[in-house]
Amino acid sequence: MALFGKPKYTIVRLKKKEMPDGLWVKCEGCSEVLYSKALEENLKVCPKCDYHSMLTAWERIKTLIDKDTFKEHDGDMSSRDPLGFKGHKSYAEKLSQDQEATGLKEAAVTGEGLLDGRRVVIAVTDSRFIMGSMGSVVGEKLTRAIELATKSKLRVIIGSGSGGGARMYEGMFSLMQMAKTSAALSYHHKARLPFISLLTNPTMAGVMASFAGLGDLIIAEPKALIGFTGPRVIEQTIKQKLPAGFQRSEFLLDHGLIDMIVHRKEMKPTLASLIDYLIWQK
């Protein structure tokens, strides 16, 4: 009989449904697995531990500048290879790879727009592009932005996110940018115009030792790593254990290196209020 000739079990093979890439992300602060879209809607701040994840240059501009008011400057500038740098990867290869990966020509985006109705010149570095380091083009773009602000009698805001400082691939050409950006800010200061420096995680080395440390007001996001060289290098050099939280925003606020720590969600209204105060002080 056919009824008794059938197998006892029927095996059904279901087609595996593939999970889209990038749907979930692990928080670097608490290791909580978070839904990517929800994290982005929260300005990339972890709802569990309040860890501030890195923003791209364009994401940061979007959080600060009023919609449809930003006008980019010098967007087509890109670096050359003055030293013909060779290594595990040549400088030319590194530039090409990071341009393709980030969609940026360089590690800085500069321009002007309205911040809560207040016209500002703004520049933001992007840590995805050779660690946000400052080569000739980054230094030139920042200097042009500062000079425009001085000429137009505008406030200037620079958001720094550089773990690489001066760009070693360009040697002395990159170190020159520290002096160039600082000189431009000196003229801006003499014109009695405000410069607000916004430090994000990380802001290190030649960037911190030049324009990032010269703000009339220096503001940092919570728990940002800020300093000249990393804590591990310092410990190996001085053969001593560093204090807990060394080089983090909270430590630096306690020791007078920065003026304020501002949560990302409060950054735009805080900057607007500070701009009004600094203009009134002028």
Q: Using DSSP, state whether 161 is helix, strand or coil.
A: strand
Burial of 77 (0-12, 13-18, 19+ CB in 10 A): middle
Longest dimension (CA), the chain: 102
pTM value is 0.84
* Exposed e or buried b per residue across 13-22, where buried means at least 16 C-beta atoms within 10 angstroms of its C-beta: eeeeeeeeee
pLDDT digits (tens, 9 = 90+) for 236-269: 888 888 777 788 999 999 999 999 999 999 999 9
Instruction: Quote the tokens at residue 12.
Output: 């059904």
Alpha-carbon distances, residue 268 vs 222, 232, 237, 264, 272 (angstroms): 15, 34, 39, 8, 6
More confident of the two residues 21 and 194 = 194
pLDDT digits (tens, 9 = 90+) for 172-212: 999 999 999 999 999 999 999 999 999 999 888 888 889 99
Beta strands at 33-35 and 24-26: parallel, antiparallel or unpaired: antiparallel
Closest CA to 39 of 49, 29, 58, 25: 25
Query: For the chain, which domains are there?
Result: 19-53 (no CATH), 55-281 (3.90.226.10)
